[in-house]
Structure 1
Amino acid sequence: MALYHDLELKVYNSLTGEKEIFKPIHEGKVGMYVCGPTVYNYVHLGNCRTFISFDLIYRYLKHLGYQVRYVRNITDVGHMVDDVDEGEDKIAKRARIEQIEPMEIVQKYTINFHQILKQFNNLPPSIEPTATGHIIEQIEIIQQIINNGFAYEINGSVYFDVEKYNTSHNYGILSGRKIEDLMSNTRDLDGQSDKKNPLDFALWKKAEPQHIMRWTSPWGDGFPGWHLECTAMSTKYLGSHFDIHGGGMDLKFPHHECEIAQNEASTGNSPVNYWMHANMLTLNGKKMSKSTGNNILPNELFSGKNTILSKAISPAVARFFILQAHYRSILDFSDEAILASERGFFRLMDAVKSLPNLSPSNHSSIDIHSWKQKCYNAMNDDFNSPILIAHLFDAVKMINLIKENKETISASDLTEFTKLINAFVFEVLGLENVEEQQGDNKKLEGVLNMLIGMRNEARANKDFALSDHIRDELLKLGIQLKDGKEGTSFLL
């Protein structure tokens, strides 16, 4: 029997601001949509945190026995810079800078996105639709919204009528913003565009002659609005009413707010039962920004080729670091924090690796079942991965006590203990196998032992200049050699 029958999962719903008992629309099945990237540049670490957070959620729902349809889109339609209705197309701008075709930009950065998430050991979604592949569906939704009286066409563009919608619905239901406040903050823009109201957002934009990415529509050549694509793709694959919609906290307004409005204006349904938002990643206490240089890309993290960290960090350690914070909390990335996380990661992996070598006893002096319940209680409390990890370190202590013969464990408990730890570490948290992660360490150890052998040979030949040179150069790299009675060892 699936675990979800016996466990009560609570999910924080951004729509209500409360943790709610999770009840899928269809028994045993979950429909989840997560906003994917706009593929006009390399995916940054903050984006990765969002996708790792929802990978954790996806993994745990599957672990509980749910059949999950996970849909995550690719935005390959050129939308405006800063996601406003006027300005320059993001993808076209990048294509002009790199002097290649827009769809080459799309392909290049989609491949990068997939490669990075694979390195983080993210599971691929069930369906990964593209905005350009769903132009027809977007046009149909626009027409339905127009037919229902909540949109208007002017000069080849179509805009959503926010004020008209708000007379019978609640624009601001997700973000908690009031239309009166939004109106007062944007009133100075009146008369600067074709919109009836500055709050109105584009459903379809007329393509100017120089605009490269364009499609034919009933209103003329143009391209769809940014908010519309997610409405089209989520409802096509999950229905007009589905379980979970996720994304970064920065998408709550206006993107997700507009999605709700579009759905209700076209179908009359509130589209989603549980809205979920992952919080931001900061760097050294400040917002990540390419313009200020306070930014690091995943490949810079993995290679060590950056000016922020003191060493290269493996994808598994970076994933572990991200999961040590709750997905709804702000997480600050720093050299000190990631190195501490790395130490914890290898301590956990060493313990997991030692499980097959534990010797069972006739009885258990430790309570495996109570520990198991604590682990599930953590994950059932809105996917609280940091509390789960804390309980995994309690397991590390238990393993060490068993190894030291200070605690005992029966054969049946050891079997269950091993199964549970492996499930939580690899299946739920999605951490990489320890052998794969330690491969580079083993290579480094081999090189260092070779250098120590060369240094020993130099000392035997009384070539102390070479001997000292090897020692001093390694010290510059942060590797200290220690000579003792049993030979030379190294300290990283």
Structure 2
Amino acid sequence: MQNQLKIYNTLTGEKEVFQSILENQVGMYVCGPTVYSDVHLGNCRTFISFDMIYRYLLHLGYKVRYVRNITDAGHLENDADEGEDKISKKARLESLEPMEIVQKYTTGFHEIMAKFNALPPSIEPTATGHIIEQIEIVQEIINKGLAYESNGSVYFDVETYNQENDYGTLSKRKIEDLISGTRDLDGQSEKRSPLDFALWKKASPSHIMRWPSPWSLGFPGWHLECTAMSHKYLGAQFDIHGGGMDLKFPHHECEIAQAKSFTGTNPVNYWMHTNMLTLNGKKMSKSTGNNLLPDELFSGDTTLLEKGFHPMVARFFMMQAHYRSELDFSFEALTASEKGFHKLMQGVKDLELLSTKEASTEDVDGLISSFYAAMNDDFNTPVLIAQLFEAVTIINKVKDGKSSLSKDDLNNLKSTMNALVFDVLGLNYIDVSDDSKLSSAMEIILELRKNARENKNWEISDLIRDKLNEAGIAVKDGKDGTSWSVNS
């Protein structure tokens, strides 16, 4: 199965047969979160997608070193070379140390990933833990004539680099177009060209996070940290580099230029990017209120949802779209996905109870081949899930005595479905029958609460709500009635 895996490579724009640099070993680097606020669902989708990819590579028998960094310094506002560091700004506004902010939101990120059942990476380095490595890279790039110091800051010289290389190779942009699309320097800028980007920034007197360097007390550029950490843990060349499509330019483009200048070789064989999330057909945005945090999705504590959804339902929903396609969150879509998730869980449960006959009337080998054909086609989880539902149809036919499976076919189907549903898609089993019983009980409880509210017995109404909340069940009153959800 290994040699059949094809991956869409953003660098070439084609699906390519995957071949690891080291036989049966894979180096994978994914740009992690900037820990200055709660992780948003767009981030979650990226990390859940690469968790699935990590899981599938492990399933195929590869030894994978999965590195996912934590950005805790150097990421300036608006992804620019000017402005305030996002973590420093948050620390200043909350009167905290920057590392208190980092710890708070790193812990929150890990908690959310655990709820989504994402495996931890092999290594999770931080930018602040690799300042020395970043300074060494900056000095080497200066030595090669591809960066320059200006007033204590160091900038990468894009136009000089482009004389022998191709800046824009990943995003398919031409340097001439980039130059024509930038404003002329006003004479006040430290940079020789608007395209040049910071490798090291001199810290202003008010800047909290700063380190000594040969050029100034300052901090590394945002793009530099990933180059330093990927090189340290995966080497000058490695297999897969991933992130959201919003990082393609300029972040990943700058990574390629930095790494190639430092090592003399292209750093990555396969560049992979996940697509964006929308909410109710519109871009997610805090400013417009069209925004949904993971805990709001789980609890339903938002005006955008009528009820909450279990993290496994949300993960299943994300797996129903290809990682490279846009995905729209809506209450209706999540509700439909919830039904599908329960159907799949019931099928997995029924599979364990099936009896066998001497011969099969179903093509189990062909069905299993279709599972792997989907996953080997650039990790096509929506097609895999469609084939898993075909398997559920067969399970129901055998259960009803309308079809049969031999012992070997049944065992093969069991082991393969369990591996793909739980180990690869990363879903946790939820007992559908228990959920059904809970739903029936909640209907009775909410009917009693409704009667109390109609009789203006607010004390009983509030008591029922509060006791349910203590038991981990959130009750939400809305214009369309009362809904409930299990807190994760």
**Structure 1 length-normalised TM:** 0.90
Q: Does 1:68 align with 2:40?
A: no
Is the contact between residue 239 and residue 270 of structure 2 (CA under 8 Å) also seen in structure 1? Answer: yes
- Which residue pairs with 1:154 in the alignment? 150
Aligned with residue 205 of structure 2, among 195, 198, 209? 209
Query: Structure 1: how far apart are the matches of 2:186 and 2:14?
Result: 37
Tell me whether 1:341 sits opposite 2:337 in the alignment.
Answer: yes
CA distance in 2: counterparts of 1:199 and 1:167, whole angstroms:
14
What amino acid does structure 1 have at the position aligned with 2:416?
L
**Structure 1 residue aligned with 2:189, among 185, 189, 193?**
193
1:389 aligns with 2:385: yes
User: Structure 1: which amino acid aligns with 2:365?
Assistant: H
- Corresponding residue number in structure 1 for 2:234: 238
Aligned counterparts, 1:55-454, within 5 A: 55-435=51-431, 442-448=437-443
Deviation at 1:476, TM superposition (A): 3.5
Identity percentage over the alignment? 65
Cα distance change, pair 190–162 in 1 and its aligned pair in 2 (3 A): farther
Residues 465, 116 of structure 1: alpha-carbon distance in 2 compared, 3 angstrom cutoff: closer
Whole-angstrom distance in 2 between the partners of 1:478 and 1:395: 33
Matched length: 462
Distance 1:170 1:18 in 2: 19
Equivalent pair of 2:155/2:197 in contact (CA under 8 Å): yes
For 1:224 and 1:450, locate their aligned partners in 2 and report how far apart those are by CA, in whole Å.
57
User: Would the aligned equivalents of 1:353 and 1:434 in 2 still touch at CA under 8 Å?
Assistant: no
CA drift at 1:83 = 1.3
Note the alpha carbon deviations across 1:3-35, whole angstroms, 9 max, x for none.
52xx41000000000000000001000000000
Q: State the alpha-carbon separation in 1 of the partners of residues 330 and 347 from structure 2.
A: 26
**Contact conserved, 1:279 with 1:330, CA < 8 A, in 2?**
yes
1:46 counterpart = 2:51 = no
Does 1:34 pair with 2:30? Answer: yes
**Higher Rg:** 1
Q: CA deviation at 1:188?
A: 3.2
User: Using a 3 Å threshold, how does the CA distance of structure 1 residues 478 and 203 change in structure 2: closer, same or farther?
Assistant: closer
Counterpart in the other structure of 1:477: 482
Deviations 1:248-268 (A, max 9, x none): 000000000000000111110
- 1:109 is displaced (CA, Å) by 0.4
| Kept in 1: contact 2:306–2:483 (CA 8 A) | no
Measured in 2, the distance between the counterparts of 1:351 and 1:246 equals: 33
User: Shift of residue 191 of structure 1?
Assistant: 2.5
In 1, Cα distance between equivalents of 2:439 and 2:130: 49
CA contact (8 A) 1:190 1:198 kept: no
Compute the displacement of 1:359 (Å). Answer: 1.2
Q: Distance in 2 between matches of 1:240 and 1:268?
A: 9
Letter in 2 for 1:477: T
Q: Quote the Cα distance in structure 2 between the aligned partners of 1:31 and 1:175.
A: 22
Change in Cα spacing, 1:186 to 1:395, as seen in structure 2 (3 Å) is same
Q: For 1:19, which of 15, 30, 38 is the aligned residue?
A: 15
Rounded to whole Å, the distance in 1 between the matches of 2:398 and 2:263 is 60
- The one-letter amino acid of 1:191's match is G
Q: Which stretches in structure 1 are left out of the alignment for 5+ residues? A: 459-463, 480-492
1:424-455 Cα distance to aligned partner (Å, 9 max, x none): 100110001123x8766654544545678x89
Per the TM alignment, residue 313 of structure 1 is displaced from its structure 2 partner at its CA by 0.6
**DSSP-derived class of the 1:137 partner:** helix
Distance in 1, Cα, partners of 2:187 & 2:414: 67
Structure 1 residues 356-365 or 439-448, which shifts more?
439-448
Deviation at 1:406, TM superposition (A): 0.7
Cα contact 2:74–2:220 (8 A) shared by 1:
no
Q: Distance in 2 between matches of 1:385 and 1:87?
A: 40
Instruction: Supply the AA of the counterpart residue of 2:298.
Output: F
**1:188-234 deviation per Cα after TM superposition (whole angstroms, max 9, x unaligned):** 34434100001000000000111000000010100000000000000
Tell me, in whole angstroms, the C-alpha distance in 1 between the residues paired with 2:187 and 2:257: 24
Query: Does the 8 Å CA contact 1:263/1:269 hold for their aligned counterparts?
Result: yes
Query: Is contact 1:304-1:310 (8 Å) kept?
Result: yes
Q: Supply the distance in 2 between the matched residues of 1:172 and 1:246 (Cα, whole angstroms).
A: 17
Q: For the Cα contact (< 8 Å) 1:244–1:276, is it kept in 2?
A: yes
Distance (Å, rounded) in 2 between the aligned partners of 1:105 and 1:432: 31
- AA aligned to 2:102 is V
Amino acid at match of 1:115: E
Distance between the aligned counterparts of 1:225 and 1:193, measured in 2? 17
Change in CA separation of 1:97 and 1:451 when aligned onto 2, cut-off 3 Å: closer
CA RMSD of aligned residues (A): 2.2
Q: Which whole-Å CA distance do the structure 2 matches of 1:351 and 1:25 have between them?
A: 39
Task: Give the ranges of 4+ consecutive aligned residues of structure 1 lying more than 4 Å apart after TM superposition.
Answer: 437-444, 447-452
- State the alpha-carbon separation in 2 of the partners of residues 438 and 36 from structure 1: 38
Deviation of 1:316 after TM superposition, in Å, equals: 0.3
Alignment-mate amino acid for residue 147 of structure 1: N
1:279 Cα deviation from its structure 2 partner: 0.5
Partner AA of 2:38 in structure 1:
Y
The alignment partner of 2:391 has SS state of helix
**Would the aligned equivalents of 1:146 and 1:152 in 2 still touch at CA under 8 Å?**
yes
Q: TM-score, normalised by structure 2?
A: 0.91
Q: In the alignment, what sits opposite 2:470?
A: none
